[in-house]
């Protein structure tokens, strides 16, 4: 097992990672999140939002507004900005993709009370495709994984994950291993 940083986008055999619905015998192979570069837009937006009130404090643009009202408005602005940044971070942090030696999970986190968990058995995987589109994605080595399954959910997508070709290879190897186990009668 490897040490897994709590904010890692790519963890191979992560240590001390648990999730809802895990089986004791199941080993977690990969823990994935969207690549850090996918956060740049909301981080820059958050940074700009943090500096919007500065002109109102240091330059007397709105002298006619009572000082108490201005302070309350600025505090409200920072409260909303903090909520925006926290919501974006939590969305990135809790939207995870988990690959175990038996199943594949896609956890879609929408907010604190709303999430979807999609899973498929490795043996149900029919096709794995990786896609890297664009110069930035190519240079930073992140892209999308499309997993076609024969289960109830026909496709599971891992969006913006690091090292998509490597992830696809691991999934293909797990599928082959699962088929070999079935042939040899070593099904868990």
- Per-residue pLDDT at 168: 94
User: Nearest CA to 45 among 94, 88, 92?
Assistant: 88
How high is the pLDDT of residue 140?
A: 95
Residue ranges of the chain that CATH labels 2.30.29: 10-34+95-184
What pLDDT, on the 0 to 100 scale, is given for residue 188? 56
Q: What is the pTM of this model?
A: 0.84
Question: Domain 10-34+95-184: which topology?
Answer: PH-domain like (2.30.29)
Q: pLDDT below 50 — which residues of the chain?
A: 1
Local structure of residue 74 (DSSP, 8 states): H
pLDDT on residue 104: 92
């Amino acid at each position: 097992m490897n040490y897994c940083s709590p904010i890692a986008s790519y963890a191979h055999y992560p240590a001390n990672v648990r999730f809802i619905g895990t089986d004791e015998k199941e080993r977690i192979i990969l823990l994935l999140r969207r690549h850090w570069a996918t956060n740049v837009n909301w981080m820059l937006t958050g940074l700009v939002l943090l500096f919007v009130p500065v002109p109102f404090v240091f330059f007397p643009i709105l002298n006619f507004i009572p000082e108490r009202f201005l302070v309350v408005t600025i505090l409200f602005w920072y409260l909303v900005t903090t909520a925006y940044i926290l919501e974006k971070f939590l969305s990135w942090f809790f939207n995870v993709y988990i690959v175990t030696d038996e199943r594949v999970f896609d956890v879609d986190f929408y907010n604190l009370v709303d999430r979807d968990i999609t899973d498929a058995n490795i043996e149900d995987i029919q096709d794995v495709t990786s896609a890297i589109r664009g110069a930035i994605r190519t240079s930073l080595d992140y892209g999308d994984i499309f997993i076609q399954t024969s289960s109830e959910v026909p496709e599971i997508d891992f969006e913006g994950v690091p090292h998509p070709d490597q992830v696809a290879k691991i999934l293909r190897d797990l599928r082959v291993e699962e088929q070999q186990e079935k042939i040899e009668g070593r099904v868990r």
